[in-house]
Amino acid sequence: MISIFKNKVLIFYFPASLMVMIAIYFSLSEINREPDKSYSASMELNQMNEGNLIYPEVNGEDSQLDLNVLVDYQSSESRFYIYSLLINWRKLFNTFTGENSLSGPVVIRQDENEEYQSRKFVRKGFSPGNVFKVVEEYGDLIVRECDYYKFDWRLILAIIKQESAFMDSAVSHAGAFGFMQIMPGTGAGLQRELKLSDTRTPANNLIAGIYYYATLVASFEFLGEDKYKFALAAYNAGLGRVIDAMTITAYVGGNYKKWDDVKESYPLLASSQDSIHSLVWPGTGRPIYGTLDNWREPYFYVEKIMYYWDEYKKIFESNLKQENTSKKKIKNK
């Protein structure tokens, strides 16, 4: 009886939530941005808006999609009600970027001994890499973009270190390219969205990659400081993987709003965990966005970047005004 009730709840709420997604989609207007340039009105918008992030404009006004409402399960009457809402996050995300690549398979890099290497990197000591050359050439651009989205530019340095080791010509075996290792499908969508001539030049790759990450952060704004970790996991292995991990976390009674809880659900995305998949997703018996046998990569990806971020905080001054008085000045090479 309980199973029948849950399925009825899912069937009832899915069409309703789908209609909401369609209404939101048709209410959104296209974001206008001059090719190859930062938002020209960014300074004015920063003065007009409050909070930690600037959001894409809707009919001339900032729109903050409150995903917290979508995943609020205070009543705990049905975990499948949460599930029915979570599976529509992709539609909300697409309204931000116009990118439909999440509907396809997510390709992530396979790396042998990933767990061993991830645990070893802290003990080996930190090497800043070629960061000083990149900061010299593109530091102003990175700071400008991060000022617009109101987050720490040193986090972007940490992402670049992990993604491309500060090599603008880096190309992965999966086809990801540039400083920010943007996948071709995602790059094409961002190129259209931001009206860039391309996303392969170093400057445009940074502009597109920072925008993409900022959009992911905006999706998790209701999670407080953990929004950066959730967004990193989504940047690495796809937003769908995060949604599936959050769904499992909610099902087993964990706190799906805390990264430390959600990351422990990543091993449960492996294909060997089909028994729990059949419980969480009784209709299909598998995660909505597919199984993830290489769950270690996003799991440790977040850990690495947070570590690098902390190290770059010791080297470079913050771009955030409230932190400037307590941070060190930029050191010389």
pLDDT, one tens digit per residue, over 109-144 is 334 344 444 444 444 678 888 999 999 999 999 999
Report yes or no: 164 and 181 within 8 Å, Cβ to Cβ: yes
CA distances for 323 relative to 310, 317, 327, angstroms:
14, 8, 6
Residue positions annotated with a catalytic role: 163
Q: How many residues would you count in the chain?
A: 333
Report yes or no: 177 and 171 within 8 Å, Cβ to Cβ: yes
pLDDT given for residue 124 in this prediction: 61
pLDDT given for residue 126 in this prediction: 83
CATH code at 2-324:
1.10.530.10
CA–CA distance, 10 with 284 (Å, rounded to integer): 13
Give me the DSSP letters along 189-257.
Answer: HHHHHHT-S-S-SHHHHHHHHHHHHHHHHHHTGGGGGGHHHHHHHHHHH-HHHHHHHHHHHHHTT--TT
Q: Which residues of the chain fall below pLDDT 70?
A: 1-124, 323-333
Q: For residue 231, give every residue at least 6 positions away whose Cβ sits within 8 Å of its Cβ, in sequence order, or none.
A: 213, 216, 217, 219, 220
pLDDT given for residue 118 in this prediction: 45
